Amino acid sequence: MNGKTAKLLNRYALAKGVNSRDLKRQWMSMNARERFQRRQKLILELKGK
């Protein structure tokens, strides 16, 4: 995980009230394709606000 991804996950956690550590654990268990799809979903949800 790079710094850009960590910032994205932290921003999402603050916006949604989710634990950032849990998000990071889930992120690390995903493969590259799942991470790409999840990243796109998170970006869309954050822009929708």
> For the chain, how many structural domains are there in total?
1
Q: How many CB atoms lie within 10 A of CB 42?
A: 19
Tell me, what's the pLDDT at 49? 59
How do residues 1-49 score in pLDDT, each as one tens digit? 899 999 999 999 999 999 999 999 999 999 999 999 999 999 999 998 5
**Rounded Cα gap, residues 10 and 40, in angstroms:** 15
State how far the alpha carbon of 49 is from the alpha carbons of 9, 25, 46, in Å: 15, 25, 6
Domain holding 39, by residue range, is 3-47
Tell me, what's the pLDDT at 12? 96
Could you give the 3-state DSSP secondary structure of residue 49? coil
Tell me, what's the pLDDT at 1? 84
